Amino acid sequence: MFTGLMPAMVTPFDEREEVDLQATEAVVERLIEAGVDGIVALGSNGEFSHLTSEERKRFAEEVAKIVAGRTTLVIGVGASGTKEAVELARHAERVGTDGVIVVPPFYWKVGEEALFKHFATVAESVDIPVLIYNFPMLTGMDLSPGLVARVATECPNVAGLKDTVGEYSHIVNVLQEVKPVRHDFSVLGGFEDHILPALLAGADGAISGLSNVAPELFVSLVRSAGAGDLQKAAQLHRRVLSLIALGEHSDPPIGAIKLAMNQLGVPLSITVRGPALPAPDEAHEKIEGVLREADLLGIGKAD
């Protein structure tokens, strides 16, 4: 069910750090116009950990209204405790989203049995599809290919995995473990430098934070790879690699992503919520240089 390019959408705030629904609508419309295969809201890039539970619920409701069934909508329900993740997942189902994505419970570093129980409990609480989310750089826990295969086998409505890992070999190992037992289980790359190689290895798509900046570029990359046009895919891949430098210009990269979007004319504030910091003043020119290097300030954007 989950294939192609799905941006991990930013959560726009106004200058008072309140959720900005007008800017949210502009962001959603831009992504849909670019032809994305879905939108993932309230993930890491959506600053879910910087919002209260009630804010997350209200934002899920509003995004569902804006999307209005025009593309697949997945809501992040990550939480440090299973009970809250279940509550958020049930709410997302009630407001009409197409699926939820759940990260391992953070703070405690638990073993595989506890992780399995967490994912299974969330999955059993809803009837909509569930994605699990491996992001060891932030959670401190790496979902082994064997654990992913177990979840895929024993939890029918767990429909896929977002694999945001440093080692490309992990994605390959997951594909080798999972696809023989669940061919319909979606494996989606997270880090942008893995998108093309993961697709060539048999992955189903990507959930990307940087695609907020240039959604047409990422859509074209995924579609070129799917069509077997590897020459074009390689060219687009190199432009994507240029964008990775954005992450050097804010702590964490969310601030630089919002600033880059703003520089490209997206009507949203560059505001982030603490503990994230906005891109500093000295980064503005550098980020413009990154966009120029990726050929996003000229007349051609994705072709």
Mean of the per-residue pLDDT values of the chain: 96
Active site residue 125: no
Distance from C-alpha of 139 to C-alpha of 276, rounded to nearest angstrom: 17
The CATH homologous superfamily to which domain 4-229 belongs is Aldolase class I (3.20.20.70)
Catalytic residue among 49, 57, 125, 133: 133
Q: Give CA torsion, residues 244, 249, 252, 258, to 10 deg.
A: -80
What are the Cα distances from residue 28, in Å, to 108, 169, 219, 222, 235?
A: 34, 33, 15, 19, 27
What 3 state SS string does 190-224 have?
CCHHHHHHHHHHCCCEEEECHHHCCHHHHHHHHHH
Q: What is the pLDDT of residue 300?
A: 39
Question: Average pLDDT of 258-287?
Answer: 97
| Spatial CA neighbour of 252 closest among 21, 8, 77 | 8
* 269 among known catalytic residues: no
Q: Is the pLDDT of residue 19 over 60?
A: yes
High-pLDDT (> 70) share of the chain, %: 98
Report pLDDT digits (tens) over 137-187.
Answer: 999 999 999 999 999 999 999 999 999 999 999 999 999 999 999 999 999
Structure confidence at residue 199 (pLDDT): 98
State pTM to two decimals: 0.96
Position 207 scores a pLDDT of 98
- What confidence category does residue 1 fall into, taking pLDDT thresholds of 50, 70 and 90? confident
Give tens-digit pLDDT for 191-210: 999 999 999 999 999 999 99
Q: Are 233 and 185 in contact (CB under 8 A)?
A: no
Give yes or no: 133 in active site.
yes
Task: Give the pLDDT confidence of 89-114 residue by residue, as tens digits.
Answer: 999 999 999 999 999 999 999 999 99
pLDDT over threshold 90, residue 303: no
- pLDDT of residue 189 exceeding 90: yes
Catalytic residue among 44, 49, 220, 250: 44
Percent of the chain's residues with pLDDT above 90: 97
Domain boundaries, the chain: 4-229
What is the full DSSP assignment across the chain? ---EEEEB----B-TTS-B-HHHHHHHHHHHHHTT-SEEEESSTTTTGGGS-HHHHHHHHHHHHHHHTTSSEEEEE---SSHHHHHHHHHHHHHTT-SEEEEPPPPSS---HHHHHHHHHHHHHT-SS-EEEEE-HHHHS----HHHHHHHHHH-TTEEEEEE--S-HHHHHHHHHHHTTT-TT-EEEE-SGGGHHHHHHHT--EEEESGGGT-HHHHHHHHHHHHTT-HHHHHHHHHHHHHHGGGGGGSSSTHHHHHHHHHHTT--------TTS-PPPTTHHHHHHHHHHHTT-SSS-S--
Catalytic residue among 57, 125, 162, 220: 162
Question: Tokens at residue 59, please?
Answer: 């934002």
User: pLDDT at position 301, please?
Assistant: 42
| pLDDT attached to residue 56 | 98
The first and second tokens of residue 258, run together, are: 């919002």
Confidence band of 302 (pLDDT split at 50, 70, 90): very low
Residue 299: pLDDT over 90: no
